[in-house]
Amino acid sequence: MTDRNETLFNRAKAIIPGGVNSPVRAFGSVGGVPRFIKKAQGAYVWDENGTRYTDYVGSWGPAIVGHAHPEVIEAVREAALGGLSFGAPTEGEIVIAEKIAELVPSVEQLRLVSSGTEATMSAIRLARGFTGRDKIIKFEGCYHGHSDSLLVKAGSGLLTFGNPSSAGVPADFTKHTLVLEYNNTAQLEETFAKIGGEIACVIVEPFAGNMNLVRPSENFVRALRSLTEKHGAVLIYDEVMTGFRVALGGAQSLHGITPDLTTMGKVIGGGMPLAAFGGRKDIMACISPLGGVYQAGTLSGNPVAVAAGLKTLEIIRREGFYENLTARTEQLVKGFQTAAAKAGVAFTADSVGGMFGLYFADHVPQNYADMARSNTDGFKHFFHGMLERGVAFGPSAYEAGFVSAAHTPELIDDTVAAAEAVFAGMAG
């Protein structure tokens, strides 16, 4: 049988650079042919060969209620019949903004945009406009989208600012971005002691999900809030991944922290292009047309995306939604850990709400350098072994995984059984 995935990949490579519209999709770090997806339903995706996979990517997070949930599809259909885009305000935008603010109380006001990249880029511009300061702090291994000043790797010393991590980004654009180590409270304290008055904002993934899943320590979380507050810097929780994923109130509800600004995306669009940034009213008042910080978007608050988001937010508020999601995710990671231990494979796992991390290491990593020491060949082997058995994970050791409400206990058991076979093969 001809492999349609391979045929399509070759055809795509002729017209789309690398054959994909977002680099990780190309399977570069695991090798092999990316699966071209034809359709998705509930916990499953089907590729162009008609092969079905149990999906733990969930479109990288948005598919929290399961793919193509009938109520979400119906909401989208209804909205689409009324027109796809107006470039004018709509009532739906107010309703979703009110709902988000109700669920995430630190968000007093918010703006809708179309991608997480736009949300973080705008939040940083806003923090700079509000404070009148230029310098920003991010942490190594955290991803906040692909805007220029965030595509940066650490400089050589503590107070040396970052260097571009992508070609095409002028060093001048990253010279105000300081890259620190995740979970290194002492380094954060030292930095604020030296240049705290120059820092516009600190942006952080409150549970990192772009270097696999890495939890912050309690100590680090408290320091982020107290140091930014003390030095008049804006604390931005980038909850594009964690918002409505780890808990109904996001990571901030689990941390008991009130950030100044929050960015969201992924789940709030329910699979459509929708993201948001919001927070303190006095800060949000600095945005155009009220204030001098410019920000705009032709498709911002798109009515069809808002309809998908609203219905998704309605479903996740139903009784027991997060209890079930959390229990299923724990069932998965515990099952994997037991299976790996039985096979004698160095492996551990962790989860928060509906998000999980799998590590081919003897401990749960604490930061990027720690994660980089894990056995990525082990991951590759596991990834392909699972894919052959009809289970799909993100094609990189540096990605978190996602469970949806459509993943039943029986389905998770099947996934664990597949993992047992793969781990057993890895031991030998």
Ligand X SMILES: *Cc1c(COP(=O)(O)O)cnc(C)c1O
The answer to whether the beta carbons of residues 213 and 356 sit under 8 Å apart is yes
Quick check: 216 binds ligand X (CB under 6 A)?
A: no
Nearer to ligand X, 249 or 385 (CB): 249
Quick one: 330 or 399, whose CB is closer to ligand X?
399
Q: Does the protein bind ligand X through residue 240 (CB under 6 A)?
A: yes
- Least Å distance, CB 145 to ligand X, is 4
Written as one string, the DSSP assignment of 28-74 is TTT-SPPPPEEEEEBTEEEETT--EEEESSGGGTT-TT-BT-HHHHH
Give the separation between CA 18 and CA 90, rounded to whole angstroms: 39
Question: Binding to ligand X by residue 93, rule CB under 6 A?
Answer: no
Q: Are 200 and 127 in contact (CB under 8 A)?
A: yes
Task: Check residue 116 for interaction with ligand X (CB under 6 A).
Answer: yes
Q: Is-contact 179 152, C-beta < 8 A?
A: yes
> Which of 93, 140, 181, 238 is the binder for ligand X (CB under 6 A)?
238
Q: Among residues 44, 53, 56, 143, which one is catalytic?
A: 143
Least distance from ligand X to the Cβ atom of residue 242, Å: 7
- Which of 5, 54, 106, 117 is close enough to bind ligand X by CB under 6 A? 117
- 291 CB neighbour count, 10 Å cutoff: 14
CB 321 → ligand X: shortest distance, Å?
A: 21
Pick from 47, 93, 140, 205 the residue near ligand X by CB under 6 A: 205
Cβ-in-10-Å burial (0-12, 13-18, 19+) of 327 comes to middle
| 401: contact with ligand X by CB under 6 A | no
Q: Are 136 and 202 in contact (CB under 8 A)?
A: yes
Closer Cβ to ligand X, 240 or 349, answer by number: 240
Site string for ligand X, 268-287 (x = CB under 6 A): -------x------------
Q: Using CB under 6 A, which of 59, 120, 131, 351 touches ligand X? A: 120
Structure tokens at 318: 């139903």
Sort residue 404 into left (φ over 0), alpha (ψ -120 to 50) or beta. Answer: beta
* Helix, strand, coil abundance in the chain, percent, nearest 5: 45, 15, 40
Q: Tell me which of 144, 225, 245, 380 binds ligand X, using CB under 6 A.
A: 144
* Cα distance between residue 277 and residue 119, in whole Å: 5
Whether 294 is catalytic is no
Task: Give the binding-site size for ligand X (rule: CB under 6 A).
Answer: 15
Catalytic residue, from 135, 138, 175, 266: name it.
Answer: 266
Options 210, 295, 331, 348; binder of ligand X; rule CB under 6 A = 210
DSSP 134-167: -EEEEETT----S-GGGSEE--SSTTPPPEESST
- 238 included as an active-site residue: yes
For residue 406 the two structure tokens come to 């459509």
Residue 153 catalytic? Answer: no
Which residues bind to ligand X, rule: CB under 6 A?
115-117, 120, 143-145, 205, 209-210, 238, 240-241, 265, 275
The residues annotated with a catalytic role in the active site are 143, 238, 266
